[in-house]
Amino acid sequence: MSVRMINRIPGAKPPAWTDGDPAYRGTQWWTVTLAYRGRQMTTPFGTGPGGSAPEAEDVMSCLLSDTAAWENATGFTDWAHEYGLETGEDWDPDLDPGPDPGKRARDIYARIEAQKDRLAAFLGADYEEILWGTVTWPSDEITWHLDPTGD
């Protein structure tokens, strides 16, 4: 099994969800396309300031880590608490007319759910095996590499 990076384009426009978030200041954005068993997945990927070009292993590691955390959580509140994010559960807009403190966490959670669904479609029948480490990656069985030809 081999996940190949068939394209990585630097200088991609930052995803809209990063707007105004200081955590993404200085991030270099890439548009990355991965290929696996005849399927492709294109996703934005950020590297730190001055970071090197991402490799397939970097992208897959992040996708799988985010997805495993989402899958392991018993729901939004459990997931948000694991990351120390505000859920907005105790927020009362009448008492605190400011912005909803849980909106950011709910948006991230929804994006990871959508990403999980795309990753599951991309990996197909191998999703569970790869996600839960029945096959350790990178390994002889699964390799991650840049292959501009897509072969």
| Domain span holding position 57 | 2-146
The residue type of 94 is: D
DSSP string, 13-43: PPPGGGTT-GGGTTPEEEEEEEEETTEEEEE
Cβ neighbors of 120 (< 8 A, separation 6 or more) are 127
* Domain membership flag for residue 151: no
pLDDT digits (tens, 9 = 90+) for 125-143: 989 888 887 655 544 445 5
Q: What is the count of structural domains for the chain?
A: 1
The predicted-structure confidence for 82-105, as pLDDT tens digits, reads as follows 988 888 888 777 777 778 778 888
- pTM of the entire predicted model: 0.80
User: Taking CA 149 as the corner, what is the angle to CA 44 and CA 8, rounded to the nearest 5 degrees?
Assistant: 20
Residue 128 lies in a domain: yes
